[in-house]
Structure formats: C-alpha cells, structure tokens
Amino acid sequence: MLLSRYLLPVMKETPADAQIVSHQMMLRAGLVRQTAAGIYAWLPLGLRVLNRIASVVRAEQDRAGAIEMLMPTIQSADLWRQSGRFDAYGPEMLRIKDRGGREMLYGPTNEEMITAIFRDCVKSYRDLPRTLYHIQWKFRDEVRPRFGVMRGREFLMKDAYSFDMDEAGGRASYDAMFTAYLRTFAALGLRAVPVRAPTGPIGGDLSHEFHILADTGESEVFFDSALDDVDLGDPDAPAKLRNLYAMEAEEHEKIADCPVPAERLAKRRGIEVGHIFFFGTKYSQAMGLQVQAKDGSQVTPLMGSYGVGVSRLMGAIIEASHDDAGIIWPESVSPFDIGLINLRVDDPACAAAAHALQAKLEAAGRTVLHDDRDARGGEKFATMDLIGLPWQIVVGPKGVAAGTVELKRRSSGEKHEASMESVMAKLTA
C-alpha cells in the first residue's frame, strides 16, 4: 500500500477532548473519527486493526467448536416482549418505529433472537449441544459514552450462545468458552484476569468477567498476585487462573474472610473486555424453547451467553502497549506488518529500491505500508512510530548505494543496517 494514495489523517497535537492515552492515540493515528457522541467511523487503518482483532476472536471461537452465523442489528420489540425484557431494559435501548408504526429496536444483545431462532430450528436432543456466535454491531445508549471506543454507544461485539440438555453439559460449554477467552486475549498480546462476577437473581449462576489490568480501567479489581506468575502459554493456565482469587472491588468488600493472605492481595484497575454467563433456563423457559429428550420427554435447554468487546479491545490493546511516541501493535493485530520509509522520493535509485522491496515483501505475503510521500524524514519517522507497525525499514541514498537499508523494531527501538537480502530473509521467514 502506498501512503501517498491512502487515507491516513494523523494529528500532531493531542486532541483536547480525549482523556485517556488510547483514545488520544486512536484519533492521532487516524484510526477512527467520532461522528456523533459515542459513535465512530472506522478509518482505513482502524478498520484493518478491527478486522484483525475480529479474526483472532473468530479463530478461537471456531477452535472451541462454536459455529458462526450473523443476526441483524435491528430487532422487533415483540421478540423482547416474549422474554419480558422490552420494558425492563430501560433507556439504554434505542427504540425505533418503522413506517407501519411497528416497534423495533437496535439490538443491545441477542439472547432473545437466538433463542427464538433455536426454538424454530431445533426440536430434538440430537441437535444439542450447540454454541452459536456472531460478530455484530450493538447499540446501547450509554449515559456517559467516553474514552473513545472503550465506552461507545455503537460498538462491535462477539456474542456466543450455548444450548445444552443438562447442567453438566452447560457447565462444559461454559468451560470451553472460558478457555477460548484466555486463548483469545493471549493471542492479542494481553494478560486478562478472569474475575468472578456477581451472580444474578437466579441462584447458582456462573459468571466471569475478563479484565485487562490498566490504570485507566473503569473497574477496580482485587486479586491474588500469584496470577501475575501464571505463564499464559502453559496449557494448564485456564485451570490455574480459574482457581486464583479475583473479584471486583464492590463484591470483594462484601466478603468477610478473603481467602488470600494480605501480602498477596493486589488491587488494580481493570478494563472489562469479556463477560461469560451461564444462566440456565432463563430465556428458554420464558420463550418456550423445548426439545425432545431421548426418552421422549420435553426438556427446556440450558443456556449461556458469552460476550467479547471487539471494538473495546482496540482501546485496551493500546492502553497495554504504547510508548511516548505512539502505539506498539502486537503482530497479531497490526494494520500492516511493515512500514517502509523512503527518505528520498526524488532520488530514482531510492524510489526504485523502495518499490522493489515493497513488491518482494508483498509477494511473500507480508503487508507493507510504503511511505512514498514527498515529506521530511522527521515527519515520516514520527508517523511510523505513531501508527506502531512492528517493523520499519528505512531506505536512503547512502544505503541504496551500498545495498543496505535500516531495519527498526518498533517495540524495542533497536535498529541496525542490514543488506536488503538479509532483511527480506528475516521478515519473510
């Protein structure tokens, strides 16, 4: 991709209305633009990151056996009347009327819709268990949309829903999602803490929130600092993490005897990036979902729902990975693999070398953002650091004469001169 033909409106100044670093950097790096309170347009660079985050989420859902589908954003009020939530949901729900006066809404979540679809499609125990998911925009008319995409009104969520014949099956589906979530966040370069969430009005509910620890998080979490020592690559990490104490402050304060010794108890702020919930027959019962069991009896399936804040994750990743100069993208979500800077676009040898390198890297399957603009070196370096691609290659006249370029690792800042061949070999290995 040639930067001269791209749309990358970077800003030098920190926007005054953005309070946290991820919001500032998302605006400065030209990832998003606000179009109304809590509603954002995803600019080309931001969309690439959003799509890559969604791909990581999707891959782990698929691996866990969940099946992808797509439900609409607009839902009918009647569906929500079946569960009793249409009136209960309150002002966060955006309610609209179509031209025939029928009440509709922009979905804040999809329990009702998936339950109705499952009710209409599935009649027998043979079709259970199933976990279905989609990645779709949601709308919640938040009282205080803030921190950019962290708390938007329109936001992208992955939501999955499990259907099981019995309690044990429901818990197994829940556990599969628990593991998938830890894998997902690790693949995004994040250390997520599973926090035991308050149980709902139905006794015996099981729920965890997944928090990324960051000073700008909106929640406060108490946790066993032994969590910090768990190696996320360890296949037993899910089991270990699950057994270690972590609670939101409000819940923690209600506990008389905290099982964690005071010297091991840590307190940090957290960003909620995921939430999983096993709620049994709450929706299946209310909406009349029944399937025939092996013995011929009618059974009300048990359900769980599992959300990941896909667009919020972009903010969380930046909170966790940046320096003064800008974003440092983990390789798994970076909008391009490599930033290629031509320092002298007016020099035919430099231009030829830069274009050739771009072509070779792209032919080898790497994505490249080639800064071929007629701009000063300092501006090009600052832009590349700000947008945070993992690797930078700098092509200049001296190097081209000697057959070398400069290679820089964004995360460490380390740079060295290397032959074009060795750079190719390193970046396409």
DSSP string, 229-255: G--TTSTTHHHHHHHS-EEEHHHHTT-
Examine residue 113 and tell whether it contacts ligand ATP (CB under 6 A).
no
Examine residue 268 and tell whether it contacts Mg ion (CB under 5 A).
no
CB of 146 to ligand ATP, least distance (A): 9
Token couple for 235: 């296949």
Beta strands in 197-332 (DSSP E): 206-213, 219-224, 246-248, 265-280, 291-292, 298-299, 302-309, 322-323, 326-327
**Judged by CB under 5 A, which of 23, 28, 52, 275 binds Mg ion?**
275
Q: Using H for helix, E for strand and C for coil, what is the string for 32-43?
A: EEEEECCEEEEC
* Minimal CB distance residue for Mg ion: 275
When the beta carbons of 118 and 185 are compared against ligand ATP, the nearer one is 185
Examine residue 155 and tell whether it contacts ligand ATP (CB under 6 A).
yes
Stretch of 5-13, 122-130, 148-156, 181-189 contacting ligand ATP, by CB under 6 A: 148-156
Token couple for 409: 């690792």
Examine residue 273 and tell whether it contacts ligand ATP (CB under 6 A).
yes
CA distances (Å), 61 to each of 68, 312, 317, 349, in order? 8, 18, 20, 48
CB of 272 to Mg ion, least distance (A): 6
The residue written with tokens 């667009």 in the block is: 311
**Judged by CB under 6 A, which of 52, 151, 252, 410 binds ligand ATP?**
151
∠ CA 107-108-114, nearest 5°, is 60
When the beta carbons of 23 and 275 are compared against Mg ion, the nearer one is 275
Q: Name the binder of 279 from ligand ATP, Mg ion, none, CB < 5-8 A by kind.
A: none
CB of 77 to ligand ATP, least distance (A): 20
When the beta carbons of 275 and 408 are compared against Mg ion, the nearer one is 275
Cα pseudo-dihedral 369, 374, 379, 384, rounded to 10: 0
CB of 278 to ligand ATP, least distance (A): 13
**Judged by CB under 6 A, which of 164, 272, 372, 385 binds ligand ATP?**
272
Examine residue 274 and tell whether it contacts ligand ATP (CB under 6 A).
yes
When the beta carbons of 107 and 399 are compared against ligand ATP, the nearer one is 107
DSSP string, 54-109: HHHHHHHHHHTT-EE----SEEEHHHHHHHTHHHHSGGGSEEEE-TT--EEEE-S-
Cβ atoms of 365 and 428 closer than 8 Å: yes
Instruction: Give the separation between CA 366 and CA 389, rounded to whole angstroms.
Output: 12
**Judged by CB under 6 A, which of 107, 194, 217, 307 binds ligand ATP?**
307
Stretch of 187-195, 294-302, 307-315, 390-398 contacting ligand ATP, by CB under 6 A: 307-315
388: left (phi over 0), alpha (psi -120 to 50) or beta: left
When the beta carbons of 8 and 308 are compared against ligand ATP, the nearer one is 308
Token couple for 238: 């899910």
- State which amino acid sits at residue 373: R
Total site size for ligand ATP, rule CB under 6 A:
14
Instruction: Give the separation between CA 98 and CA 107, rounded to whole angstroms.
Output: 15
Examine residue 309 and tell whether it contacts ligand ATP (CB under 6 A).
yes
Cβ atoms of 176 and 63 closer than 8 Å: no
For helices 310-320 and 21-28, the axis angle rounded to 10 degrees is: 100
Residue 340: strand pairing partners: 370, 393
Q: Name the binder of 273 from Mg ion, ligand ATP, none, CB < 5-8 A by kind.
A: ligand ATP
Stretch of 150-158, 159-167, 272-280, 331-339 contacting Mg ion, by CB under 5 A: 272-280
When the beta carbons of 119 and 275 are compared against ligand ATP, the nearer one is 275
Q: Name the binder of 404 from ligand ATP, Mg ion, none, CB < 5-8 A by kind.
A: none
CB of 244 to ligand ATP, least distance (A): 20
Examine residue 140 and tell whether it contacts ligand ATP (CB under 6 A).
yes
Residues that bind ligand ATP (CB under 6 A): 140, 142, 151-152, 155, 157, 272-275, 307, 309, 311-312
